[in-house]
Structure 1
Amino acid sequence: MQDHTIEFAEARRHDSLQERLERAFIRGRLSRRAFIRAVTAAGLSTTGLQVLADELEAIRANQTERAAKLQSSYDYIVVGTGSAGCALAGRLAQRTEASILLIEAGDWDVAPSVMNPGVWFTNLGTERDWKDVAIATPFTNNRPIPEHMGKVVGGGSSINATIWARPFKSDLDHWAEVSGDSAWGYESGLAIYRRLEDWQGTPSARYRGKGGPVWCQPAHDPHPLAPAMLAGCRSLGLPVLDDLNGAREERGNGFALMNQIIKNGQRNSMARAYLYPVLARENVTLLVNAHVDRLTFSGQRVTGVQLNRGGTVAQVEARTEVVLSAGGVNTPKLLMLSGIGDEKQLRAHGIKAVMHAPEVGRNFQDHLLHGGCLWEPKEAMPHRNSAAEASGFWTSNSAATSPDVNLVQIELPYASEVVAKDYAPPPTSWALCAGLVAPKSRGTVSLRSAKPDDRPVVDAQFLSHPDDVKALAAGIELAREIGNSGPMRDFVKREVVPAKSLKGKEMEAFIRNGATTYFHASGTCRMGKDSQAVVDAKLRVNGVQGLRIADSSIMPRIASVATMATCVLIGERMADILLPPT
């Protein structure tokens, strides 16, 4: 994305002040009265301030006390508070009095840049981001590709875009087939979505839920560019739907306004949906700024975790289970640091293997977002919501079982660093980007060293499979057709990128130079019924006891949608496995 330095600097200036106030309050350094007085005096937003103050006060009172009195053991330990971890912990806390310890390496999610969906991208590269980078390869023209992941309460649901996209039927039915468990199939998943959603759009008895913890709605008061894109799709004979979830999951192709987790103008992350309602409970302890260095064992049984809090190392036992929800990069890293992985690779770092599991860290997958196809508008267009409001799925290959291309309309000049340099799009430009959502390329995550503080090596191998290049080429051509269609003319002064049809090597170079990702790292601890799978259908890590995984790493094949909603499904399934619903 291009550098909007002046615009974002102003947002960060206000963010830093309110962030300091909220952190001071939640850590007990400000009284409730002093917090409200300070926010008001600073001229910051006071919308919902009394409710926010009450919420933070209750959480602070409980969590400050419980973190200060860390117990030596808990019934369940959940490592990571991303989308899956939030869903799992929230459901467990509601359904049992068992003690639950959640461990988050990042801080609280109180930064205004988290809560304001319109500046979500300003979180990238900050302390709320793990800042991993996929190493350069010839397949991306020797460009390293950032792999942003949330290092904050709420994980990616707190720092990434606010898109609620549910997996295709073919995705979940494939998982059911390879796991040997029909509970991973589409009909079971659909029942879970109906119970967890609080859908604000047109009701649907089959597809949508009401009254659940996850608020989701069609893009509210979208920029006119969004319906114009849909009109452009319709003019080309592409299917335009009332809802981008629901029927699309079964029928395949379709375009519509996005579903978003924006409530009253603010992000309603999975932390807000699942964790905040239970953080005042006596059986829930959330540690922030706490790094899990490795798992602890007794023989082949995982007994707990070794964690580091500001340089103080402690061990905490799990009486029942440890569940890793640290994501597609950190979960395999933690397994390998703990001696679960390829024995030869572990030995090279001086780590004794507890369990030889060569598939740990393999099968890495992510969605690629091409940055991008851009147009200069006739006049400046301030973005709305999360700056992306219309999208769609399309099958470029007639042999595919579900769409392999996702088109995303972005109300900003979204471009890779190479495309931005080569074409210099005006800062008012908008983009229509082709995304690869069914990649055939596979990469790896491996240890850099045995030091917990060292980030792992992400060798994504993006675009190493020729079919991925073909799919993106088709998607780029479709994006240009839509962007240059009649219904879009009111928003087009000129096409800036690529401004002409590209063929052969020229198109290939454009694709490799424009490749970025959606930040959906997945697949590195895949689920399956075969002997090489890292976890089984119950998400138990094969070869050891007392350890499960519930996050994007278990995906045998990445779901062909933004992964937040799929990770929530994984967390909900984990809760049902641990505590079957009555």
Structure 2
Amino acid sequence: MKTEHDYIVVGGGSGGCAMAGRLSEDSSHDVCLLEAGGDGTGNLINIPSGAVAMLPTKINNWAFETTPQPGLNGRKGYQPRGKCLGGSSAINAMVYVRGTASDYDRWANEEGCSGWSYKEVLPYFKLSECNERIRDAYHGNAGPLNVADLRSDNPFQQIYLEAGKQAGFKITDDFNGADQEGVGIYQVTQKNGERWSAARAYLFPHLHRKNLTVHTKAMVQRVLFEGKRAVAVEVDLNGQRIILRARKEIILTAGAIQTPQLLMVSGVGDMDELARNGIQAVHHLPGVGKNLQDHPDFIFGYSTKSLDTLGLSIRGGFRLLREIFRYRKNRRGALSSNFAEGGAFLKTKPELKDPDVQLHFVVAMVDDHARKMHMGHGFSCHVCLLRPHSRGSLTLQGNSMDKPPLIDIGFLKDPRDLDALVDGFKLTRKIMHAPAMAKWILKDKFTEGVQTDAEIREVLRNRVDTVYHPTGTCKMGTDEMSVVDPQLRVHGLTGLRIVDASVMPSLIGGNTNAPVMMMAEKAVDMIRGVSRVKAIEQAGQLESGRRDQVAQALTPLPV
């Protein structure tokens, strides 16, 4: 086994798969990817509906919990995170959303992240994406990440759209185009009705490369330094603790929870906190683990008589058998569903520039992240706050990676978040109570009788939790609490870079999976000192069957 590589990528999630796949395109770069979980294959991952077995359990899932949250009436929150090649892209709802232009312009113009404006990141979204249907200036059609329309053929999509229209909202065909606002059906990271995780997009097609080494069940315990330079990692692999050295860089892609944890147990963080855990400080960086952000989310749930929704019943069981045969035959139907089929981006106040709440309409009853099951059939609708003011933090409860960190998600700490969610609650219920949807409701499971603002606030505090988008714990920027610079290099250290959701200085207005892959695409150009965007612009728009021309078009250009 090789014990020295040019680049060591720690974490095989969305960022890690993209980094390893793209860096290894250059045969002169020797790349090693380390993933603590499994190989990211199997029916539970590839069949989209298999997520219902992974999300509430520890199957391919770290299944973290938060500390008790004062804003949630003392409840602990749940933080599922993918634990296999593909990371959270192997267990998520596959929703392809990028956020708004203003999110990235805020990073560049207000938060010290030069080079990350919307104009500068859009080409990397397009470089990543292979959209099957939409062909315009906002989308790519030749990238490794397949983006497709749903193949569930569920008639409830039209019921949801009609209800949105009746509630007075416009219908949109593309949440990633010129205007995000509206009600619509999500596009998903699928191909031929199967999940298209970051591993299937960026990694699995290239495992034959001689310059790419991938280790699974490889738990990195520490980053090792010589002075201020990161030179190696200590990793548990095949029952042994070994040291792998990096000739050029170590790239952390372990996510917003475990990347800051790994930094801290390696001696990088607030020196007082490190000392409290018996850790010798390598470098004082007080922002590590701070600035934790996530989208606080509330879910409406309703029972229904419709068998077009997923549920537990004898009649539903017979229908499921038919759907299994249908999926095996043509990869369509209920098993191809991502559950969260419908979406919306809405403004709680008309004067807002951009939508501030997001909806996920689910063709199943969802209660406590599917950890509580209900007999019969139902549907649900999430509403989350896109840019919360509340901030949390992540701290250690030991000096190793063996104990999960203490996660204070900080939900509803800031009273402005609760006020905005009350407005979002009312907007969402307006759609759920529209005639097209209301006629399918047998029982309101969670909000029956909730009318006044005080009652809404209480049910929010009792039921709000994550919609799975933790970010910000190693934020990019130039102030004293920043952890990485706009090139994603860790401040004050060399040979160490971070490429995952932890570097987002503030939450974007949408799902975070696609943005992480965009960030990895951009980081690859930063590392190589080559602009693929400019090369592709010179070569012209490439069709899917001509991707090899991208490599031929590459020339050294300023990033």
Interval of TM-score (by shorter of Structure 1 and Structure 2): 0.7 to 0.9
Name the structure 2 match of 1:196.
128
Letter in 2 for 1:322: I
Contact 1:140 1:515 in 2 (8 A): yes
Name the structure 1 match of 2:543.
none
Partner Cα distance (1:150, 1:90) in 2:
19
Name the structure 1 match of 2:475.
526
Within 5 Å, give how 1:420-439 maps onto structure 2: 427-439=376-388
1:135 to 1:181, Cα distance in 2 relative to 1, 3 A = closer
Letter in 2 for 1:407: L
Name the structure 2 match of 1:375.
302
Within 5 Å, give how 1:529-540 maps onto structure 2: 529-540=478-489
Question: Displacement, 1:500?
Answer: 3.5
Q: 389, 411, 417: which is aligned to 2:363? A: 411
Partner Cα distance (2:369, 2:477) in 1:
38
Q: Deviations over 1:40-73 (max 9, x none)?
A: xxxxxxxxxxxxxxxxxxxxxxxxxxxxx2x121
Q: 341, 344, 358: which is aligned to 1:392? A: 344
Q: 391, 395, 407: which is aligned to 1:442? A: 391
Name the structure 2 match of 1:115.
46
Letter in 1 for 2:264: M
1:399 to 1:466, Cα distance in 2 relative to 1, 3 A = farther
Name the structure 2 match of 1:244.
175
Name the structure 2 match of 1:30.
none
Within 5 Å, give how 1:203-282 maps onto structure 2: 203-204=135-136, 206-248=137-179, 252-282=180-210
Name the structure 1 match of 2:422.
473
Q: 5, 10, 13: which is aligned to 1:82? A: 13
Contact 2:17 2:199 in 1 (8 A): yes
Contact 2:422 2:453 in 1 (8 A): no
Letter in 2 for 1:341: G
1:340 to 1:419, Cα distance in 2 relative to 1, 3 A = closer
Question: Displacement, 1:491?
Answer: 2.7
- SS at structure 1 position matched to 2:377: coil
Q: Deviations over 1:363-403 (max 9, x none)?
A: 00111221x22222233324431111110111214565432
Question: Displacement, 1:290?
Answer: 0.6
Question: Displacement, 1:360?
Answer: 0.3
Contact 2:155 2:308 in 1 (8 A): no
1:418 to 1:258, Cα distance in 2 relative to 1, 3 A = closer
Partner Cα distance (2:152, 2:49) in 1:
14
Name the structure 2 match of 1:506.
455
Letter in 2 for 1:215: N
- Counterpart check, 1:165 vs 2:97: yes
Letter in 1 for 2:40: D
Name the structure 2 match of 1:561.
510
Partner Cα distance (2:371, 2:161) in 1:
26
Name the structure 2 match of 1:128.
60
- Counterpart check, 1:451 vs 2:400: yes
Partner Cα distance (2:455, 2:439) in 1:
30
Partner Cα distance (1:178, 1:551) in 2:
21
Partner Cα distance (1:89, 1:176) in 2:
26
Contact 1:419 1:513 in 2 (8 A): no
Partner Cα distance (2:309, 2:353) in 1:
38
Identity %: 33
- SS at structure 2 position matched to 1:136: strand
Letter in 1 for 2:360: V
Name the structure 1 match of 2:227.
299
Partner Cα distance (1:95, 1:398) in 2:
49
Q: Deviations over 1:301-349 (max 9, x none)?
A: 1111111114311111111111100000100000000111000000011
Q: 324, 330, 336: which is aligned to 2:258? A: 330
Name the structure 1 match of 2:464.
515
Within 5 Å, give how 1:8-27 maps onto structure 2: none
Partner Cα distance (1:319, 1:540) in 2:
16
Q: Deviations over 1:183-240 (max 9, x none)?
A: 3111122111222211112322x11111211110122244111222112112222121
Contact 1:445 1:524 in 2 (8 A): yes
Letter in 1 for 2:58: T
For structure 2, the 5+ residue unaligned runs are 311-333, 532-554
- SS at structure 1 position matched to 2:257: helix
Q: Deviations over 1:90-141 (max 9, x none)?
A: 1111134210000000011123111111121211322411121011122111
Name the structure 1 match of 2:551.
none
Contact 1:550 1:570 in 2 (8 A): yes
Contact 1:376 1:425 in 2 (8 A): no
Question: Displacement, 1:460?
Answer: 1.0
Question: Displacement, 1:89?
Answer: 1.4
Contact 1:164 1:258 in 2 (8 A): yes
Within 5 Å, give how 1:486-497 maps onto structure 2: 486-497=435-446
Contact 1:245 1:259 in 2 (8 A): no
Letter in 2 for 1:262: Q
User: Alpha carbon RMSD of aligned pairs, Å?
Assistant: 1.9
Partner Cα distance (1:225, 1:514) in 2:
25
Name the structure 1 match of 2:245.
317
Q: 333, 350, 354: which is aligned to 2:278? A: 350
Name the structure 1 match of 2:315.
none
Name the structure 2 match of 1:58.
none
1:233 to 1:530, Cα distance in 2 relative to 1, 3 A = same
Q: How does the TM-score come out when normalised to structure 1?
A: 0.83
Normalized per residue, which structure has more helix? 1
Partner Cα distance (2:286, 2:390) in 1:
19
- SS at structure 2 position matched to 1:277: helix
Question: Displacement, 1:182?
Answer: 4.5
Partner Cα distance (2:492, 2:128) in 1:
33
Letter in 1 for 2:72: T
With 118-127 and 100-109 compared, the bigger mean Cα shift is at 118-127
Partner Cα distance (1:336, 1:222) in 2:
47
Partner Cα distance (1:436, 1:179) in 2:
20
Question: Displacement, 1:157?
Answer: 0.3
Q: How many residues align?
A: 505
Partner Cα distance (1:96, 1:577) in 2:
17
Letter in 1 for 2:142: G
- SS at structure 2 position matched to 1:84: helix
Question: Displacement, 1:145?
Answer: 0.7
Partner Cα distance (2:150, 2:193) in 1:
11
Partner Cα distance (1:151, 1:416) in 2:
20
1:402 to 1:419, Cα distance in 2 relative to 1, 3 A = farther
Partner Cα distance (2:377, 2:193) in 1:
23
Partner Cα distance (2:300, 2:371) in 1:
10
- SS at structure 2 position matched to 1:529: coil
Letter in 2 for 1:466: P
